[in-house]
Chains A and B, each alone.
Chain A
């Protein structure tokens, strides 16, 4: 018996030991003679990039590297930083906690699905980082998580980009008013209500803070007969927003609602806010430039619902030319595979330069996620998230060839083995087929509220 216990303890210790030792894998690679698109320092022709232990160690010409470093001949090819998607729902097991107009306490960190084939497909399109977001059902939704596409791990935690600051989802307009107002007869039913819900949330958080401050003053006093306030993770999160510890990423479409939230943020001293989708952002571009961390937009989506009827594909160009930090995001398992192409569309619609267009999917989303000191450009000392294209990435004919995260190659077109699933359901006799209408989107997990009127509303709904 004693022996049995002893063996169990040893096994247990071993297990704990290995799980603790699980370090994120980092790699070495020497990419030789590429057109290096640095983003922050122009294009460097016929240049080498030496990656050491997951970090860009050196950029230069005819670098000498140790013999054991794997060499990639990139002659004639284009190397750019890994693409960053500032609005995605890839690798998530759930999207919306649609039970209340404010659900700031929930975390997407808890629903990461490392088996999602979407991660591999994103890598095959050169996307190395995605901002995995809560949905848009609530005025204040859950906390998002920034993921690195380290496909192959079974451990959800290994997908998390540890350095990334906390972010939270807000949502304005049709979605929260439909879910709560129309769906459940709860405020918000209108854009007036959305503002009220957000302001009330912040006010409640401030009162909560005061009650704790009051408690902290008296708690050590003798004869203290007061009871401490109840801990509330929802209000704690709202306080963290007010303290500038969390970046807001707000689902929004119309200019008036964007302007409203800018004013609310001004009133509460919040400057860490990024507007997402923001189809009518072009109408309030100067305000976005002055008061926010920018806008993350679609390249050309419009007319799929009424609040995007008055949009323009020139949105990204107008925003960029007005000095707004602008990114192009996917919000789609399909678009995340070709964000380089989505960025290229800004050259047709508004004539952005190569540099401006590529910033939309690299350094700009990095800034919006607060991770630009580590990723988003090819610079010595930055993390080696890289993608190699056969042609200039803004050309329609460009095909991503290899993609690295932390210097580890996770995609190689030559070595792609067709079926890249990490697990197969042993009970599955018939593999489901997905036609294009079946995208994951912002309004997933809420359609059960709408059995009464038209589930088809959600066919293409963001």
Chain B
């Protein structure tokens, strides 16, 4: 009986969310339950699209997918005419690490020093960052959040956009980041000569080689049971050398990509290239090397004045067609919600909707070794998914409900509350 009442209460809550949101002091929290999503068009991503199909969420997982699943005591959500997608994954952001971009005291993405691989992004993720609810109502449920700066800025973490502590947000993946030294002339301010730029880049690679050598030595000593001093930078890099942690290398200019390919050649490590803004110039080489790529932002200027106006839009498609495994990122903080639009532009400029969809779902899940939990709608995977009334790449489409790990996410945030408060406002009466 008690159970029934609580179900009744919850259903009322479901039906009247907007109303409840306006009650003074009312707080809407994410809550877990058994949800039966009835009669949806299911975009599984991993296999075909399922028409008129139900999806059952139980204990945070997708418990069943099929037609006419029994309603039992589940909270039923009618999904007729709507679509279900796996939660979108942004493979490169600063979400949670920055609150207001121009205020240094709210920037936690950069630590002092060029070599700080052991700095953990997850430590500095603010679970209550205002941008998090702003992001997740768009269907972006999971992001890689990254430190920046120097040769080895730190360790990125995959987080899901629900939870009260960083631990609760942890989606179970880490990658050590590296910025590959650039031999490109950096924008308008760079007044160095071509020779100087080349020399400085080569010197930087030498420095990185020396660091790498040190880390390898550290690893070898450890492996052979030798004593090592407390040296957290090297201890962490040693885990990359050993292959325990993957290395994500940020590299953008075509020339630098070729150098980076050369650099990773004899290193038996798990590597992903990120950025890769000029990948379209060396797509075949990337494909041959079999290195996966995280590229973006797609909505970005061409890297050079001489490049085609649409080179950034088309980059992901060129890479994908050359056989590179492509994942898309926004490289944003407060507007990670635009991930589906970045994917949409990539789709329009050659990639096609299906591949672009994979580039923000299944591909990143595979890249981050979490494809057993995320990236597609399959029984046994996490119930991290969303309900939309159309193609989620289209701006016109409304995202109706998001679930993260089986939690029903409140479809509100500060942007929406401001809308509700100010849409209709009285003016000061005239005297």
Which A residues lie at the B interface, using CB under 8 A?
A: 117, 120-121, 124, 282-283, 285-287, 290, 300-306, 309-314, 317-318, 321-322, 333-334, 337-338, 341, 344-345, 347-351, 394-399, 416, 418-421, 424, 429-436, 438-439, 454, 457, 459-461
Contact = CB atoms under 8 A, between A and B. Distances in A.
Nearest to B310: A124
Given A334-B301, A433-B252, A318 B423 contact: yes
B414 A312 contact: yes
A397 B302 CA distance: 19
A398 B349 CA distance: 9
Given A304-B102, A334-B301, 9 more contacts: A117-B305, A302-B335, A314-B418, A338-B299, A344-B395, A347-B396, A349-B415, A436-B300, A459-B101
Contacts of A394: 395-396
Contacts of B344: 396-397
Contact of A303 (B131, B194, B299, B345): B131
Interface string B103-144: 110000000000000000000000000110000000000000
Nearest to B353: A397
Q: Which of B344, B396, B398 has the most CB of A within 10 A?
A: B396
A282 B418 contact: yes
Given A124-B310, A396-B341, A399-B348, A310 B185 contact: no
B230 interface: no
A394 B194 CA distance: 44
A135 to B, nearest CB: 16
A429 B307 CA distance: 16
Contacts of B185: 430-433
Given A282-B422, A306-B100, A434 B309 contact: no
Contacts of B173: none
A226 to B, nearest CB: 44
Interface string B291-327: 0000001011111111111100000000000000000
Given A312-B415, A348-B395, A436-B300, A454 B104 contact: yes
Interface of B: 99-104, 130-131, 182, 184-188, 190, 193-194, 197, 252-253, 277-278, 297, 299-310, 331, 333-335, 337-338, 341, 344-345, 347-349, 391, 393-398, 414-416, 418-419, 422-423, 425-427
Nearest to A438: B187
B397 to A, nearest CB: 7
A282 B418 CA distance: 9
Contacts of A334: 299-301
Contacts of B341: 341, 345, 396
A419 B334 contact: no
Contacts of A333: 301
Contacts of B278: 433
Contacts of A306: 100, 102-103
